[in-house]
Homo-oligomer: A and B are copies of this chain.
Amino acid sequence: MSAIPDLAAIEAMDAADPLRSMRDRFILPKGVIYLDGNSLGAASHAVFDELQKASTQEWAQDLIRAWNTAGWFDTPTTLGDQLGRLIGAAAGQTVVCDTTSINIYKVLHAALAMRPDRSVIVAEGDSFPTDLYMAEGVASTRPGAVLRLEGVDAPSIEELIDERVAVILVNHVNYKSGELRDMVALTRRAHEVGALIVWDLCHTAGALPVELDRANADFAVGCTYKYLNGGPGAPAFIYAAKRHLAEVRQPLSGWWGHARPFAFERGYVAGTGIRRFLCGTQPILSMRALKGALDIWDDVDMAALRKKSIALTDLFIQLVEAKCGAFGLTLESTRDGSRRGSQVSFLHDHGYQVMRALIDRGVIGDFRAPSTIRFGFTPLYVSYRDVWQAVEVLEDILRTGAWKDPRFATKEAVT
């Protein structure tokens, strides 16, 4: 490990940061160091502009005609292609729609239908829970389907992958620890036994470069409100590899996925290509907010993003361990930057109170039970100086015991 940098060295890192001008595109409140962009990304001027345009101009002035004149109807696929560039998906394979949970349901059903002689769904015991809940839901409507979990039915996911497996649902980056899976290797392993694989990119899209096409992935889903900064509950996405698009079918067969949605035919005929993953009418205002957020990415070099992400998280680990090491913190994330998403988690016996105290002092991360304090580093708007300041505050809270203040012990509804 290199020597602990001082503030001057850290300010030099910011001065040399090729992404530093991106911060001006975002609105960040004064007095806040925002290390929770992995939960909800920050707002941007581009988003406000798109919202304004879509509501006061297109909707208010063009009314129903805006479905044509403003291209509303094609928003799911135009945004899909725009987002596809950030996850290594060539055009025509990504669509923005609905929620991550609903999209998991669609792709799991689609994958099971493509492997009618198999019945096992493999997932991770420490998955973000909604993935498991949706897999349960799929199993409830697919007689004979069985869910097998890493950490429950076997210690590693690789040991669960055999010829009985229809589909593997796996998080690219673990929401809690930040551990990054090897997409190429696990996809290859799935294909060796004839299984399909679904990558959950919630903690990846916008956090680091993803190469779905190159990894030969089958399907992917993810949200757009974390590192992509699309706004609270912004619509999610689905990727389906081009080679599957002709045969794939999913049961949420609504009119937006129909081959001829405005012919008002009685029977369902799946549309061509990725559109067949659409179901109902999408929330255009939230979609357009997302467009504003995605436009920002047109100017981002993903290699520079990854480099900065690793540098920010390495620096955070280094400073915390150097300055706070005596105060009961244990690194939960891996120390190897190449196997880590853009987040760092530490364990602390009183993690909830520590995080409440941090937030009270303007350093916003989050807490995941039972004892994880989690910090997300969005390279577009987090500076090296932010990292330094956050650690100063954390050190002070731990050293002084400020987190023991009784007002930090009460539970909030959502953290």
Distance (whole angstroms) from the CB of A350 to the closest CB of chain B? 18
Given contacts A133-B268, A281-B223, contact A251 B138 (CB under 8 A): yes
Tell me which residues from 240 to 271 in chain A have a Cβ below 8 Å from any Cβ of chain B: 251-256, 258, 262-268
Distance (whole angstroms) from the CB of A395 to the closest CB of chain B? 23
Chain B residues with CB under 8 A of A268: 132-133, 136-137
Whether A280 contacts B101 by the Cβ 8 Å rule is yes
| Residue A289 is within 8 A (CB to CB) of chain B in the complex | yes
- A121-141 contact mask (Cβ, 8 Å, vs B): 1 or 0: 000010011101110111011
- A372-415 contact mask (Cβ, 8 Å, vs B): 1 or 0: 00000000000000000000000000000000000000001111
| Residue A146 is within 8 A (CB to CB) of chain B in the complex | no
| Residue A114 is within 8 A (CB to CB) of chain B in the complex | no
Whether B414 contacts A255 by the Cβ 8 Å rule is no
Interface with B: A56-64, A78-86, A305-313, which one? Answer: A56-64
Tell me which residues from 15 to 44 in chain A have a Cβ below 8 Å from any Cβ of chain B: 27, 29, 32, 34, 36, 39-40, 42-43
| Residue A235 is within 8 A (CB to CB) of chain B in the complex | yes
Whether B285 contacts A137 by the Cβ 8 Å rule is no
Among A143, A223, A281, which residue has the most Cβ atoms of chain B within 10 A?
A281
Number of interface residues of A (CB under 8 A): 91
User: Per a CB cutoff under 8 Å, which of B66, B234, B253, B262 touches A137?
Assistant: B253
Report the separation of the CA atoms of residues A29 and B60 in the bound assembly, to the nearest whole angstrom: 7
Whether B284 contacts A232 by the Cβ 8 Å rule is yes
| Residue A316 is within 8 A (CB to CB) of chain B in the complex | no
Residues of A near any B CB (own CB < 8 A) = 27, 29, 32, 34, 36, 39-40, 42-43, 47-48, 51, 54-56, 59-68, 72-73, 98-102, 105, 109, 125, 128-130, 132-134, 136-138, 140-143, 149, 152, 223, 225, 231-236, 251-256, 258, 262-268, 279-287, 289, 359, 364, 366, 368-369, 412-415
